[in-house]
Amino acid sequence: MKNNLAVIPKMFKTNFGLFSEITKGFWRMGKARHLPKKDYGHNHFKNLALVYFKLTGSCNLRCVMCGQYGDKGVMNDCAAEESKKILPLETWKKFVDEIAPQKPVIYVWGGEPFLYPDIFPLCKYMVEKGLFVSVNTNGTLIERHAETIVRDRWSTLFVSLDAFRDVNDELRGKGSYDKVIAGFKAINREKKKQNVKYPLLGVVTVVTNKNYMDLANLAQASREYDIDLHIYNLGTYTNDSIVAAQKQLMKEKLDTEIDCLEAYNTGYNTGIDGIKLYSILQDIQNNNYGHPIVTVPFLNPEKTHTYYAELETPVRNHCIVPWCQANVNYNGDVHFCADYPDYILGNIKEQSFKEIVNGDRANCFRKAIHESEGGMFPGCLRCYQNMLFGNRIKGF
């Protein structure tokens, strides 16, 4: 796989509508790259391109590498307490009314978003407002809801699968693979019955040292399920010294104590043979299992080893997230960093979202990150949002 940008024409061929929507979103995010970063009086609300809806912190699985419920997950001790804090449907709808005119791409996640009791009326409401609604789920609960998901025209359903059956279930929980496959079949049946293309089905795989040798088996198996796209997320990882540097920086510059980064200090990156991994991905691409594949981040194959073995080496910099994206947590708190919700910008129960993203706390964060080396913090080195939207460093 010389350059996996080569899959873009293939994606357009697969589904022109979807990929032109995504392209528009990326284009708006690209624009954010050129905004005057020091203009703290700017109306950032106008540049909103992507909003993460973290509907719940609850989850029915315990995936080993997960920053919420994995070996070092931050939710492990407080899940029951946090589950009481979810927002009512009406609060989410009011928030949707506020952001809909900006037409951001919506990414729904959790925890497991299907555990939010009003996920269906909420997603329906967003689709009716003309928003592109993408839901990321562990897929164990989709079978029973397939008819509604298809009827309500969700745009994409990204389902997490990390390997073929046995390896997947070791990582994500016994029986989870078969539940996902039953869900794929049910969605495809419904799409046929209702004669529609949506939602497009994506598989998302987090690459770890536990599953990378099994990726070809998963790719081979998934050819049967009319997948539209397979994303290989190279994974969010950190180490002791990066955590220490981030702790110090967040305390000094933003007076914030952090817990969330340490949850990705799992060691599941160690020992991954970069050359082997790229040859596995290359074989998957050459075999053409009927759907495009992409890695996040796009990476020079020769640098795969660096990605896993040298976590201090940046592969992306100049994070643009604070200029065009935000995550709203299950309790209404707003953050820029979806996986590291330590620094709170405000809460949508108390203030309008526009006030929050144009407010002092948001601007303090923008200033701190802009003034940091390479326009990012140490904790951004393998952050998923930075891997997707950061500036590609030459050679990587």
- CB nearer to ligand SF4: give 138 or 238: 138
Distance CA 209, CA 188 (A): 32
Q: Which of residues 115-144 bind ligand SF4 (CB under 6 A)?
A: 138
Q: How far is CA 22 from the centre of its chain?
A: 14
List 18, 29, 55, 66, residue binding ligand SF4 (CB under 6 A): 66
Strands (E), 120-184: 133-137, 156-160
- CB nearer to ligand SAM: give 126 or 180: 180
List 11, 48, 65, 87, residue binding ligand SAM (CB under 6 A): 65
- x/- track of binding to ligand SF4 for residues 147-186 (CB under 6 A): -------------------------x--------------
List 7, 63, 320, 334, residue binding ligand SF4 (CB under 6 A): 63
Torsion sign, CA atoms 331, 335, 339, 343: negative
Report, in Å, the least distance between residue 230 CB and ligand SF4.
17
Distance CA 86, CA 331 (A): 5
Which region among 38-46, 65-73, 118-126, 163-171 touches ligand SAM (by CB under 6 A)? 65-73
Beta 325-328 vs 156-160: how paired, if at all? Answer: unpaired
Distance CA 106, CA 154 (A): 11
Q: Which of 255, 273, 266, 233 shows the shortest CA–CA distance to 343?
A: 255
DSSP characters over 16-42: HHHHHHHHHHHHHHHHHHTS-TT-TTS
Assess 156 for contact with ligand SAM (CB under 6 A). Answer: no
Assess 183 for contact with ligand SAM (CB under 6 A). Answer: no
288 CB-near residues (< 8 Å, 6+ apart): none
Contact of 335 with 327, CB cutoff 8 Å: yes
List 156, 211, 236, 329, residue binding ligand SAM (CB under 6 A): 236
- The site partner of 62 among ligand SAM, ligand SF4, none (C-beta below 5 to 8 Å per kind) is ligand SF4
Assess 68 for contact with ligand SF4 (CB under 6 A). Answer: yes
Site of interaction with ligand SAM (CB under 6 A): 59, 63, 65-68, 109-110, 112, 136-138, 160, 204, 206, 233, 235-236, 264, 384
